[in-house]
Structure 1
Amino acid sequence: MAQKGRKYKLLANSEWHATNAEKEQKKEAEILASDGYPLLKNTPPSYMSNYAKTEWKRILPALQLLPIRSLDRAMIEQYCVWYGEFKLINKQLDNVDFDERMKLLGTMDKISKNIRSAASELGLTVDSRIRMVMPKEEKKEKSLSDMFG
């Protein structure tokens, strides 16, 4: 799911002045990206921890509203596994001494960065959803006469 450049915006959320041909082309691309592939299965993988499975079940209804399919399963698994590890380490914090606590907090910091990255790719953050619906500002190119008078 890694992309370069501007994030993709769904046609329904686009507020751009396009010709009917451009709109049809974008609609066809969305259909190919979503309907041409199998849907994401409801059941989490068996290897996941209970925390990760719980997170899978929590986010699945939201993911089914997005054009996410079974091809994206690895990214979803990654997010849920990282989330499960975060919860597990958080639970361990109360039962360790100061030095071990500092190590665990460092690990939690690294894990939280991975969680944020995966969540952003999947459209699970407020910012990533806003970018999908916000129109991009168009920059007007300056002519030579505008630049030099």
Structure 2
Amino acid sequence: MTRGLKPSTITPGTSPVMTVPPPPSYLSKDAKAEWRRVAPILILERKVLTVADMGALENYCIALGTMRELHRLLQAEGHVLPTGKRHPASTALLQTQQQQLRAAAELGLTPSARSRAALSEAAADDEDFL
């Protein structure tokens, strides 16, 4: 279960971000690429990000970048070490995937988060008719 406000319940007009800023310089290559892919959608298309939300976007991009780096490491080194023990990156990858999914849901970047937002909007529209 995801906690926090859903994109459909965010009050617009509280310091909205109007232009897509460049990704922070310290992000990894993968994280920067995700920022460039997702920030325009959230800022220009959906118009849901405020200045206060930029940390959430950064968190999402860092998690996604880390997830991809860990995946590449495991592809190169394998999931099992020569000692027969599980590679520590396997656990880190799982944790990062979970973090990335939570952050994506907070930003409305998953199909289920978008469908919940659509249902919430439809329910609000129905209440307007009562």
Distance 1:101 1:95 in 2: 14
CA shift digits 1:70-117 (9 cap, x unpaired): 210000000000111111111111332522763211111000000010
Contact 1:52 1:83 in 2 (8 A): yes
Unaligned runs of 5+ in 2: 124-130
Aligned letter for 1:3? Answer: G
Summarize the alignment of residues 8-19 of structure 1 with structure 2, pairs less than 5 Å apart.
Answer: 9=8
Q: Alignment partner for residue 66 of structure 2, among 51, 75, 85?
A: 85
CA 8–56 in structure 1, closer or farther in 2 if over 3 Å, else same? closer
**Residue aligning to 1:23:** none
**Residue aligning to 2:15:** 37
Unaligned runs of 5+ in 1: 11-29, 137-149
**Residue aligning to 2:4:** 3
TM-score normalised per structure 1: 0.65
Shift, 1:36, TM fit: 3.8
Shift, 1:37, TM fit: 0.7
Contact 1:51 1:87 in 2 (8 A): yes
TM-score normalised per structure 2: 0.74
Summarize the alignment of residues 1-149 of structure 1 with structure 2, pairs less than 5 Å apart.
Answer: 3=4, 7=6, 9=8, 33-39=11-17, 41-64=20-43, 65-66=45-46, 67-96=48-77, 98-99=80-81, 102-134=87-119, 135-136=122-123
Instruction: Specify the SS of the correspondent of 2:8.
Output: coil
CA 102–68 in structure 1, closer or farther in 2 if over 3 Å, else same? same
Instruction: State which structure, 1 or 2, has the greater radius of gyration over its C-alpha atoms.
Output: 1
Q: Which runs of 4+ in 1 moved over 4 A?
A: none
Please, what is the CA RMSD of the aligned residues? 2.3
Shift, 1:34, TM fit: 2.7
Distance 1:113 1:106 in 2: 11
**Residue aligning to 2:126:** none
Shift, 1:61, TM fit: 2.2
Instruction: Specify the SS of the correspondent of 1:34.
Output: coil
Contact 1:75 1:118 in 2 (8 A): yes
Aligned letter for 2:100? Answer: I
Distance 2:32 2:42 in 1: 15
